[in-house]
Amino acid sequence: MPPRSRLILNKQMPGRRRRRAFLATTVILAVVAAGTAALWLDHRETPRAGPPPAGDTAGTPLLDIEHARSGLDRLTIAWNREWESYQRNAFGPGWTGRGGEPELTDGCTARDAVMKRDLTETQLAKSNSCTVLAGTLHDPYTGAQLPYDRYHASEIEIDHVVALGDAWRSGASDWDADRRERFANDVGNLLAVQKQANQDKGSRTPDQWKPRQSYQCDYARRWVSVKGHWGLTVQPTEKRALADMLATCAPPANR
């Protein structure tokens, strides 16, 4: 090669190397950017596993005495309706213990959350902190002390204070299925109670059934809280009974 040609080639080499380095860097950055975008899209588009949460772990807030009294005055008065059309499955699945129950935002079912909240001296499963293995219930309806052992027959049940049947008759018949399921799993409307008391109460309203007198104030507070929060109506006789029960309140209330 003539000397002049070698000189020209040598002068061009640094520029070619810079262009090759630039192109290589561009390709690497493009690959990294594509990978990052793919990961971002995968994160954005991956659906949530399992059913959506049925509700939060607090549920309907419990009103204090004064707000319960004023809340009672604001409730809409109407006679119950749709008596014959109520069915339990309109409020979604219950708590069979066989799986498939709706979960709250903490991953526990409403039943598990209430058992953890209402029982004392609880023993939880090591493999699942939602599961109560043993404990003791001081029944709010009767005052009885009830032991609990998950592996033996229990005298404890979970009660919907405002029963699903009463909710249906006082407005829930007009709701969609999702709202009814969230109501059924509202821990603010749930109490662990004595089995017999729960069965005696059934879907009766406060003018038809009352707990022990020392718990009537707190029972009425919870009833008004739930009906107000969910926009349910009260019958005239029901409202009078609630007013009488709230009249027994002496602050501060315990529950």
Domain-wise residue ranges, the chain: 1-46, 65-246
223 vs 244: CA distance, rounded Å: 13
234: nearest Cα among 85, 75, 67: 75
3-state secondary structure (DSSP) of residue 54: coil
Show pLDDT as tens, one digit a residue, over the chain (255 residues): 444 444 333 444 445 454 555 444 444 444 444 444 333 323 333 333 334 445 667 799 999 999 999 999 999 999 999 888 999 999 998 876 666 688 898 899 999 999 999 999 999 999 999 999 999 999 999 999 999 999 999 999 999 999 999 999 999 999 999 999 999 999 999 999 999 999 999 999 999 999 999 999 999 999 999 999 999 999 999 999 999 999 999 865 444
In 3D space, the residue among 203, 242, 236 whose CA is nearest the CA of residue 219 turns out to be 242
Residues 111 and 101: beta-carbon distance below 8 Å: yes
User: In the numeric block, which tokens belong to residue 124?
Assistant: 């939880």
Q: Which two tokens stand for residue 17?
A: 């190397």
- Cβ neighbours around 198 below 10 Å, total: 19
Q: Compute the distance between CA of residue 207 and CA of residue 212 in angstroms, rounded to an integer.
A: 14
Q: Write down the pLDDT at residue 93.
A: 87
Q: Identify the pLDDT of residue 55.
A: 63
Burial of 60 (0-12, 13-18, 19+ CB in 10 A): buried
Report angle CA 254, 195, 236 to the nearest 5 degrees: 65
